[in-house]
Amino acid sequence: MDWKTLQALLSGVNKYSTAFGRIWLSVVFVFRLLVYVVAAERVWGDEQKDFDCNTKQPGCTNVCYDEFFPISNIRLWALQLIFVTCPSLLVILHVAYREERERRHRQKHGDQCAKLYDDAGKKHGGLWWTYLLSLVFKLAIEFLFLYVLHTLWYGFSMPRLVQCANVAPCPNIVDCYIARPTEKKLFTYFMVGASAVCIVLTVCEICYLIFHRIVRSISRKKTARSRSPRSSASRASTCRYHHKLVEAGELGLDSGDDKLRASAPSLTPI
Amino acid sequence: MDWGTLHTFLGGVNKHSTSIGKIWLTVLFIFRVMILVVAAQEVWGDEQADFTCNTLQPGCKNVCYDHFFPVSHIRLWALQLIFVSTPALLVAMHVAYHRHEKKRKFIKGEIKNEFKDIEEIKSQKVRIEGSLWWTYTSSIFFRIIFEAAFMYVFYFLYNGYHLPWVLKCGIDPCPNLVDCFISRPTEKTVFTVFMISASVICMLLNVAELCYLLLKVCFRSRRAQTQRNHPNHTLRESKQNEMNELISEGGQGTVTGFPR
Residues of chain B under the 70 pLDDT cut: 1, 110-125, 230-260
**Residue A229 half-sphere exposure toward CB, CA atoms < 13 A:** 14
Chain A residue with CA closest to B74: the answer is: A39
- Chain B hits for A160, CB-CB cut-off 8 Å, are 62-63, 66
For residue A160, the 8-state DSSP code is S
Chain B residue with CA closest to A158: the answer is: B66
Sheet with B52-53, strands from edge to edge, namely: B52-53, B178-181, B166-169
Q: Which of A122, A135, A115 has its CA nearest to residue A94? A: A122
Residue A181 to residue B66, Cβ atoms within 8 A: yes
Residue B112 phi/psi, 5° resolution?
-65, -30
B34 in contact with chain A, both atoms CB, cutoff 8 A: no
- Chain B hits for A176, CB-CB cut-off 8 Å, are 59
A29 located within any domain: yes
A187 located within any domain: yes
Residue A178 to residue B62, Cβ atoms within 8 A: yes
CA distance A152 to A158: 11
Residue A265 has pLDDT above 70, yes or no: no
Q: Provide the pLDDT for residue A259.
A: 41
- Chain A hits for B78, CB-CB cut-off 8 Å, are 35, 38-39
pLDDT band per the 50, 70, 90 thresholds, residue A166 = confident
Find the chain A residues whose C-beta atoms sit closer than 8 A to any C-beta of B.
3-4, 7, 19, 22-23, 26, 29-31, 33-35, 37-39, 42-43, 46, 50, 52-55, 160-161, 175-183, 186-187
- Chain A hits for B6, CB-CB cut-off 8 Å, are 30, 34
For residue A112, the 8-state DSSP code is S
pLDDT band per the 50, 70, 90 thresholds, residue A261 = very low
CA distance A65 to A53: 9
Domain that holds residue A101: 7-220
A245 located within any domain: no
The alpha-carbon gap from B2 to the nearest alpha carbon of chain A, in Å, equals 6
Domains belonging to chain B, first-starting first, are: 19-222 (1.20.1440.80)
Chain B residue with CA closest to A183: the answer is: B71
Q: What is the ipTM of this complex?
A: 0.73
Please state the separation of Cα B105 from the chain's center in Å.
Answer: 32
- The residue type of B229 is N
Residue A214 has pLDDT above 50, yes or no: yes
A26 located within any domain: yes
Chain B residue with CA closest to A39: the answer is: B75
Instruction: Return the higher-pLDDT residue of B120 and A4.
Output: A4
pLDDT tens for A37-76 read 888 888 888 777 888 888 888 888 888 888 888 888 888 8
- Chain A hits for B79, CB-CB cut-off 8 Å, are 35, 39
For the residues of chain B, what is the DSSP string, one character each?
Answer: --HHHHHHHHHHHHTTS-HHHHHHHHHIIIIIIHHIIIIIHHHTTTTTTT-EES---TTHHHHHHHHH-SS-HHHHHHHHHHHHHTHHHHHHHHHHHHHHHHHHHHHHTTTTTT-SSHHHHHHSPPPS-THHHHHHHHHHHHHHHHHHHHHHHHHHHHTSS---SEEEE--TT-SS-EEEE-SSHHHHHHHHHHHHHHHHHHHHHHHHHHHHHHHHHHHHHHHHHHHHH-HHHHHHHHHHHHHHHHHHHH-TTS------
Residue A102 has pLDDT above 50, yes or no: yes
pLDDT band per the 50, 70, 90 thresholds, residue A109 = confident
- Chain B hits for A54, CB-CB cut-off 8 Å, are 57-59, 173
Q: Provide the pLDDT for residue A236.
A: 61
A32 located within any domain: yes
Give me the torsion for CA of B1, B7, B10, B14, rounded to 10°: -160
Query: Which of A34, A39, A187 has its CB closest to that of B1?
Result: A34
Chain B residue with CA closest to A6: the answer is: B1
Q: Which of A183, A39, A27, A77 has its CA nearest to residue B37? A: A39
B49 in contact with chain A, both atoms CB, cutoff 8 A: yes
Residue A2 has pLDDT above 90, yes or no: no
The alpha-carbon gap from A38 to the nearest alpha carbon of chain B, in Å, equals 7
Between chain A and chain B, the number of residue pairs with CB atoms below 8 A apart is: 97
Q: What CATH number has the domain bearing residue A91?
A: 1.20.1440.80
The alpha-carbon gap from B228 to the nearest alpha carbon of chain A, in Å, equals 40
Count: domains in chain A: 1
Residue B48 to residue A23, Cβ atoms within 8 A: no
Go through chain A and tell me how many residues it has.
270
Q: Provide the pLDDT for residue B118.
A: 62
Count of CB atoms within 10 A of residue B209's CB?
22
Mean pLDDT of chain A: 80
- Chain B hits for A183, CB-CB cut-off 8 Å, are 66, 69-72, 75
- Chain A hits for B82, CB-CB cut-off 8 Å, are 30-31, 34-35, 38
Do the beta carbons of residue A163 and residue A216 sit within 8 Å?
no
When pLDDT is averaged across residues A139-146 and rounded to a whole number, the result is 94
Measured over the CA atoms of residue A15, residue A16, residue A20 and residue A26, the dihedral's sign is negative
When pLDDT is averaged across residues A19-25 and rounded to a whole number, the result is 88
Residue A36 has pLDDT above 50, yes or no: yes
A157 located within any domain: yes
The residues near A5 (Cβ < 8 Å, ≥ 6 apart) are none
CA distance B227 to B224: 5
Chain B residue with CA closest to A3: the answer is: B1
A237 located within any domain: no
